[in-house]
């Protein structure tokens, strides 16, 4: 926080934070009936689950694509070029609907 942040700004930020926590606690995720493609960063924290828990929310197997960078740098040059190519490929695929 910048040193010149006023008390009202801090109160406002705290209220937004509290509201976000309340919304998160009330939210119950639903199973998504279609394919999920997960773009996972190659660098950074090693997590136990390859799909980061998305498989628990998907009725279909989760397709995982590893892209260079970490959680933040995968969205910056030069790594975003790889992500862009993968996104372009998947966005050009026909959307499969369930009957």
Please report where in the chains the tokens 């509201």 appear, as a residue.
19
Lowest model confidence (mean pLDDT) among 28-42, 58-72, 84-98: 84-98
Confidence of residue 91 (pLDDT cuts 50, 70, 90): very high
44-75 pLDDT, tens digit per residue, is 776 667 888 899 999 999 999 999 999 899 99
pLDDT, tens digit, 9 for 90 and up, residues 8-33: 999 999 999 999 999 999 999 999 99
Is residue 99 pLDDT above 50, yes or no? no
What distance in Å separates the CA atoms of residue 35 and residue 24, rounded to the nearest whole number?
24
- Give the number of other Cβ atoms within 10 Å of residue 63's Cβ: 14
Give residue 95's pLDDT.
79
How many structural domains does the chain have?
A: 1
44 is a domain residue:
yes
79, pLDDT greater than 60: yes
Asked if residue 21 belongs to a domain, the reply is no
Structural domain of 70: 31-91
Q: What is the 3-state secondary structure (H, E, C) of 23-89?
A: HHHHCCCCCECCCEEEEEECCCCCCCCCCCCHHHHECCCEEEEEECCCCCHHHCCCHHHHHHHHHHH
Q: What is the pLDDT confidence band of residue 4, given thresholds at 50, 70 and 90? A: confident
């Amino acid at each position: 926080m910048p040193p010149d942040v006023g008390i009202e700004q801090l109160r406002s930020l705290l209220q937004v934070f509290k509201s976000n926590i309340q919304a998160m606690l009330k939210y119950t995720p639903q199973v998504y009936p279609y394919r999920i493609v997960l773009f996972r960063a190659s660098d950074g924290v090693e997590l136990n689950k390859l799909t980061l828990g998305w498989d628990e929310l998907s009725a279909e197997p989760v397709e995982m694509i590893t892209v260079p960078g970490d959680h933040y740098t995968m969205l910056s040059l030069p790594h975003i070029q790889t992500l862009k190519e993968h996104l372009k490929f998947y966005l050009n695929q026909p959307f499969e609907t369930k009957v």
